Chain A
């Protein structure tokens, strides 16, 4: 059969077409040039653009319609039926999230039949929702719970499930699934298949037997799940959570023999206030340091120190690759891909294992830090590394997988013992009775307390690129990066667009800094070269870029590309406070860039503690033998075929 090229929705979504609003016919000409339609909602008149959904129209005039399966980051599903409203002239109630306005309508949002319907739907969801709120980690932050309270649910009208049906899948280090709590809103499916294009989850079977599952019902740890945790961030109930090691961390803290060290990353600091009722966008870095000491951590370090270290290693590695390509005539993998996002790394290992040589061999800041702590730090402070416990506070669920990778033992011990998400840390702090925003701010501990602004911006998409460029440009040109970019703010790489591209021309070269003389005699080979860089966040965008490279497109001629698995970069990570939305992520980004602007030192290669590290410990410099042994890693081709 001759079928035209598959026309999905305007956004080319990969989600099932039953889960979307499909294209509507073009606006008729009589609507006028702006295509506005007059509607009334609860008696309030409004004019909205043709094709606006009833839900968006209501929100634009301040009328609230409750939703459950709807999510600002995801395509519409229209399956929970909570958002139903009465539309004059229609026999049935209509789902406001999925009803595009194409003609004048009169809508009522709270009639008796609507209220009854919403209540019934909640009752039905609760019938199958196993578990009690007080024994659930989403207690007081659960959309089902909130709606149940709003609609006055005070008994189980249609009964309540007494026994769990499904076994909990805790096979993945990153994401734990409890389908007994699932209300089948399909957000996780839309996230995994459409938003992230990983495709680990889908609904299987039908009717009341429907359950969200993996390929062949395999444990999540055995399929292509990359651990990005975006599904957790969007799940409205407690069905999905990260693999929580809080009990083990408390045990370590309570054990007097153990020296427990925690490193905090910029994204959790920018967001943890949300767990304490704050509006997104205020970093609580100093307050967190105090709180962590109060909880019993022996030392509180700034991951940004290791981020600066990562920049030194990765920028040097990039320059070495460029030297190999341009001077030595070697066949070297370019563009170089960043490797600090473990979700992205696992994505590449599964879906494009042939591109692994492009990945920078540098470890992520978290892992570098773990190695340094159990070698350099332990030695300097006379500690037995087996009694040192490293905990990483990360916005990331995949970091839990990363710290458990078998090769992450360069220190001779497990480099990072536990990865804690922002949410888990907030829970620990609350357990210790602390009100985080009210804490007096304090600084980080030495010797790794100094971090630069470059390290901070790692948390936002484009941040790693910006940090790397600040260092690379200055090391190569011998001149200040402020000459090219005001305030060293490399704005072309910033922003929330999914795929970005920028160019920097090296118009002069300076002498090779001492740190790099092992690898370079001169930087003349870079004079006049245009450094082409790319940034992608969200694995769907990463996929586009990698495919473009394979097809010989624009990005194939790039030299360096930053990839982040999570939309927004780390600040949107799978361990961040729930809920998430484009606005929340934008607010967190503002907080992160503000911290950078106020930092005393803003370039990784100017971090005195980093320089000290190279002088005293990693004496053969960035990408030297010692650095390779401790700070670099290798990857595992996994492929996407399970059978």
Chain B
């Protein structure tokens, strides 16, 4: 991560800690917020959160690695989750799963080369009466047919538009200090 990005992230984490509280019970809301914006929680973020909440970085790491929706390694900007529980299975999720893999060009557990989509299974999305069910980011799709996959993915791609700048506004951040020689070997 670039130093500038780190500074922005640091400021964001401080703001999150101020909002949710500087104690351990604020951990999950803070991590979820970081996950949402950056699509994963990197080591620097975990360390900063640990310092602010007065816990050990390895404890933050242990929490991140416990929950399915928190990731310590970079994932796609949009998580696609396919329910694999029994009712969706009985409703024919396997065919839909294969079609998603075909249309995305990746297998379950992988991320597309452009970093936009990650594909994984989820456990019971609570749509058992209308399976197979799919979560594309926060967007829920129920009774998904193979023929609909392409449209769903196109909609998700369209939402990207221009690829968002991850650190828009950094030039105006009070922490910003551009040193052209930073990080270069002398």
Contact = CB atoms under 8 A, between A and B. Distances in A.
Decide if A and B touch, CB cutoff 8 A: yes
Interface of A: 1, 3, 6, 193, 199-206, 213-216, 223, 640-643
Interface string B23-54: 11100000000000000000110110001000
B66 A205 contact: yes
A215 B65 contact: no
A354 B165 CA distance: 39
Contacts of A193: 56, 59
B56 A216 contact: no
Given A202-B58, A202-B62, A204-B61, A643 B24 contact: no
B128 interface: no
Nearest to A641: B47
A223 B43 CA distance: 13
Interface of B: 21, 23-25, 43-44, 46-47, 51, 55-59, 61-62, 65-66, 72
B56 A206 contact: no
Nearest to B20: A1
Contact of A203 (B46, B56, B57, B62): B62
A205 B44 contact: no
Contacts of A1: 21
Contacts of B55: 199
A3 B72 contact: no
A548 to B, nearest CB: 16
9 contacts: A3-B23, A6-B24, A6-B25, A202-B62, A215-B46, A215-B56, A215-B57, A216-B46, A216-B72
A283 to B, nearest CB: 38
Given A3-B25, A205-B65, A205-B66, A643 B56 contact: no
Mostly, the A contact residues are loop
Contact of A199 (B21, B25, B46, B59): B59
Residue from B57, B58, B59, B61 whose CB has the most chain A CB atoms within 10 Å = B58
B155 to A, nearest CB: 33
A514 to B, nearest CB: 51
Given A1-B21, A205-B66, A641-B51, 13 more contacts: A6-B24, A193-B56, A193-B59, A199-B55, A202-B59, A203-B62, A204-B61, A204-B66, A206-B65, A215-B47, A215-B57, A216-B57, A641-B47
A376 to B, nearest CB: 43
A193 B25 CA distance: 18
A3 B65 CA distance: 27
B72 A643 contact: no
A206 B55 CA distance: 20
B43 A202 contact: no
Residue from B21, B24, B65 whose CB has the most chain A CB atoms within 10 Å = B65
A200 B56 CA distance: 8
B44 A199 contact: no
Contact of B58 (A6, A205, A214): A214
A643 B44 contact: yes
A138 B58 CA distance: 28
B58 A223 contact: yes
A641 B44 CA distance: 9
Nearest 5 Cβ contacts at the A-B interface? A199-B56, A202-B62, A204-B65, A215-B58, A202-B58
Contacts of B44: 643
A195 B37 CA distance: 36
A237 to B, nearest CB: 21
Contacts of B21: 1, 3
A202 B61 contact: yes
Contacts of B23: 3, 6
B59 A643 contact: no
B59 to A, nearest CB: 6
Contacts of A205: 65-66
A436 B169 CA distance: 72
B66 to A, nearest CB: 5
Contacts of B59: 193, 199, 202
A470 B44 CA distance: 49
A216 B61 CA distance: 7
Contacts of A202: 56, 58-59, 61-62
Given A6-B23, A215-B46, A206 B58 contact: no
